[in-house]
Amino acid sequence: MRKQFAITLSSALIISLLTACGNQSNISPIQLSQSPILSQAAKTNEYLSFAKKDDGTEKKSDLEIKEKTEKASVKKPEELKIKLPAVKNYPMDERDVASIARYALREMHAAVTYSEGYRAGLKAIKKMARDGVYVARVSLASAESTIDWQNGYKVVAAALNHMAEGNPNTPYEACNLVLSMMKSTNSYSDGYRAGLGAMNVIGQTDNHRVRYIVESAIRAAESTYSSERSYNIIRDALLELRRSF
């Protein structure tokens, strides 16, 4: 029964992703000149820093979910190693998603705290999301759903790295991105939140059947009493979807 549901969910999500991906529009200009960040951008052997300070503030989530009972098992975050790409000083009217993402990664790298780096990267993602970039919309929902600054930083970094590498805006790559964001977190709770936030965007479609199936999947994950179980439900759905391509 579970396998049949996963296959049905996969077919529905493919339709949803394809529909959303077709709505991408051009990126508006971004100011890239006269920035101190660009003076260090020519280095090619640097990796994004995750050695940030905790400023003691609490990160709030825009996603309201039922509290889960945490088990003794601890989620080990997968290492997220991101090589800082070189950034070219394009003209101010350059509309290149990859260049915006590369610049934002540099700003995150220069940040002192996780919250500062998170906000710097999220600012670029919000800009692209407003301009209709589907992957940015998915990433924004995931990042804003986390409740830990370090996890928020990692989710944003994973999203920008995906864009900076010039990956195609396809359903397959969207699945890879969401899985990468979920795996980078250090708790099942935030990993689940990141995945659920993405699913909420994927389910935004005029196709009633797709919306019903996606909402049913979300309800299944929300109905459990374990963050780990909810995390696995979302992860398995994405893995099944990715194998469909």
Show contacts of 205-208: CB within 8 Å, 24+ apart: 205/15, 205/16, 205/19, 205/20, 206/19, 207/12, 207/15, 207/16, 207/19
Mean pLDDT of 28-36: 36
The span from the CA of 99 to the CA of 230, in Å, is 35
Query: Across the strands, what pairs with 47?
Result: 83
Nearest to 142 by CA among 128, 153, 132: 153
Q: How confident is the model at residue 61, as a pLDDT?
A: 86
Nearest to 200 by CA among 63, 66, 67, 60: 63
Residue 188 scores a pLDDT above 60: yes
Asked if residues 149 and 57 have their Cβ atoms less than 8 Å apart, the reply is yes
CA angle 195, 62, 130 (to 5 degrees): 80
Q: How confident is the model at residue 46, as a pLDDT?
A: 82
pLDDT tier for residue 134 given thresholds of 50, 70 and 90? confident
Contact partners, residue 87, CB within 8 Å, separation at least 6: 32, 37, 38, 41, 99, 102, 103, 106
The span from the CA of 182 to the CA of 62, in Å, is 17
Nearest to 113 by CA among 161, 50, 159: 50
Mean pLDDT of 74-96: 67
The span from the CA of 108 to the CA of 41, in Å, is 13
Q: How confident is the model at residue 74, as a pLDDT?
A: 84
Nearest to 181 by CA among 158, 199, 202, 204: 158
Asked if residues 153 and 146 have their Cβ atoms less than 8 Å apart, the reply is no
pLDDT tier for residue 64 given thresholds of 50, 70 and 90? confident
Mean pLDDT of 172-180: 87
Mean pLDDT of 138-153: 95
pLDDT tier for residue 143 given thresholds of 50, 70 and 90? very high
